[in-house]
Amino acid sequence: MMDPTEFRRRGKEMVDYVADYLENIEKRQVYPDVEPGYLRSLIPNEAPEEPESYEDVIRDVERVIMPGITHWHSPYFYAYFPTANSFPSMLADMLCGAIGCIGFSWAASPACTELETVMMDWLGKMLKLPEDFLAGTEGQGGGVIQGTASEATLVALLAARSRIIKLIQDEHPERSEADITSKLVAYSSEQAHSSVERAGLIGGVRMKKIPTDNKFAVRGQALSKMLREDRDAGLMPFFLCATLGTTASCAFDYITELGPLCKAEKIWMHIDAAYAGSAFICPEFRPLLDGVEILLISIRINGSWSTLIVQQCGLVTDYRHWQIPLGRRFRSLKMWFVFRMYGLKGLQAYIRKHVGLAKEFESLVQADQRFEISAEVVLGLVCFRLKGSNDLNETLLKRINNARKIHLVPCQLAGKFVLRFAVCARTTELHHVQEAWSHISQLSSKLLQEQSH
C-alpha cells in the first residue's frame, strides 16, 4: 500500500505529468477516435485481488484513458462552453482533497462554511450586485456554491415552490400541497438550457417555454401575455428563469422588462447566467446585468465552480439546507486561490482575451461572403453558418469534426442549423483561432466545390 514517502514521490511525478499534459495539450488530437465500448476490452473484467503497482496504473493512463478523452482544455476545442481550469485552482483542489472534510454543517468544518460565505460576498461585489444579495456580517442575502449549474436552477425552483405553497397555505390552510402544486406554472425562455426543463420535471411543476424575439431573447410582452392567459385559466405563475447568455447563441433576456413584471406579479425571478455571468466582472459587460436592482431573487454564475446567490434568505449557517446534497467538499478554497492569484484585473483580462478572440473570429467570418453570422456576438461565442441549406451546414460540421483538428458543436436557431464557435481553453491564442478559421474555410471550399458539381 502507498505510504506517505511513496505519495511524495508519485505526487511530484503526477504534478509533472499534469504540467506536461497541459503544456503539450495542443499536440494531442482534440477529439478521440474511439468507438462506443472501446474501453471495456482494454482492462480486466474485475478488480484485482492483490494490489498493483503505481507504475502499472499510471502506464494505463496513456494506454486506456487518454485515447478516449475529449480534450476540453486544448486550444482546438471550441465546443459547448468553457469549463475553467487553472493552475491555482488545481493547487487548491489538492489541498481540498487532503483536508477531505464534509462541510454539511458549521461544526463539521467551520472554515469550510465560513470561507464560502466570504467568497460568495467577494463574488457578489465583483459582480456589483445590490447590497441585499450579500451576506455581510448581518446581511439577509448570500451565496452558495452548488455542485453544478443544473443544481443551482433546481434549488432556486424548489425554494420558489416552497415559498408559494407556504404563502397560499397561510391564506388558505385547507388547500393541500398537491392541489397547489398542480396549479403552479414556471416559465423560461424557449432558448433556456435543458436543465431548466429538467428542474421543472424533478420539482413536479409545469414549465412553460416563452417564445423569443428575433434576437432569441425573451421580452416582457411575451411573458406578460402568457401570464394573463395562465391566470385566466386558473393557473398560478410562481417562477421565472430568465437567461443571460443562452447556451445556443448567448442571447440575453430583457431583465429590465421582466423584473418589474415579476415584482408586480409576485413571481420568483431567477437569472441563469451560467456562461455569461463571469463576464459581468468587467465594467464594459456589467450593463448586461442591469435590471438586477429592480427585483430578483436568485442568480447563478459558473466559474470553475457553480454558484447561486440569493437575496433575503437570513444568515447562513448550515449550507446543507441550501442545496440538494447533504455533503459538500471545501470548494470555496478554489475560488479563494483563483481570486487572489489572478486578482480582479487578471480575471478581467482573461475574459477580455476570450471575447477579443471571438470578435476576431467573427470578423474573419464576416469577411467571407460565403458565410453569415447567425446571432449577435456579445462574449466568447460566435454562431455562424454557410449561406445555404441546413444539410450543407450539417455536412460541413461533420467534416470539421471528422477531420479531428478542431471540435465544434451545432445549435438550432430559428429552424436553422448553425455552427457554434466558443472560445474555451485558457491556452487559446490568436494564431489558434486563425488556424481554426483557415481550416474551416478550406473544408468549406472543398465542400462547396463538390456541391457545385
Near a second copy by CB under 8 A: residue from 8, 128, 263, 404? 8
Each residue 37-76 as x (binds a second copy by CB under 8 A) or -, in order, gives xxxx--x-xxxxxxxxxx-xx---x--xxxxxxxxxx---
By beta-carbon proximity to a second copy, the closer residue of 33 and 450 is 33
Of 199-238, binders to a second copy (CB under 8 A) are 202-204
Amino acid symbol at 141 = G
C-alpha cell at 88: 491555482
- Give the separation between CA 381 and CA 245, rounded to whole angstroms: 10
CB of 327 to a second copy, least distance (A): 4
H-run or E-run covering 159: helix 149-171
Q: Does 1 bind a second copy (CB under 8 A)?
A: yes
- 180-212 burial code (b ≥16 CB/10 A, e <16): bbebbbbbbbebbbebbbebbeebebbbbebeb
Q: Does 172 bind a second copy (CB under 8 A)?
A: no
Near a second copy by CB under 8 A: residue from 170, 232, 287, 345? 345
Query: Does residue 178 contact residue 188 with C-beta atoms inside 8 Å?
Result: no
Query: Does residue 393 contact residue 420 with C-beta atoms inside 8 Å?
Result: no
By beta-carbon proximity to a second copy, the closer residue of 331 and 432 is 331
- Per residue, what are the HEC states of 299-353? EEEECCCEEEEECCCCCCCCHHHHCCCCCCCCCHHHHHHHHHHHHHHHHHHHHHH
H-run or E-run covering 447: helix 430-452
Each residue 125-154 as x (binds a second copy by CB under 8 A) or -, in order, gives xx----------x---------xxxxx--x
| Piece of the chain touching a second copy by CB under 8 A; list 35-43, 221-229, 293-301, 365-373 | 35-43
Q: Does 122 bind a second copy (CB under 8 A)?
A: yes
Could you tell me where the DSSP H helices lie in 172-204? 177-181, 194-203
By beta-carbon proximity to a second copy, the closer residue of 38 and 438 is 38
**421 - beta bridge partners?**
382
Each residue 299-338 as x (binds a second copy by CB under 8 A) or -, in order, gives ------------------x------xxxxx----x--xx-
Q: Does 163 bind a second copy (CB under 8 A)?
A: no
By beta-carbon proximity to a second copy, the closer residue of 40 and 453 is 40
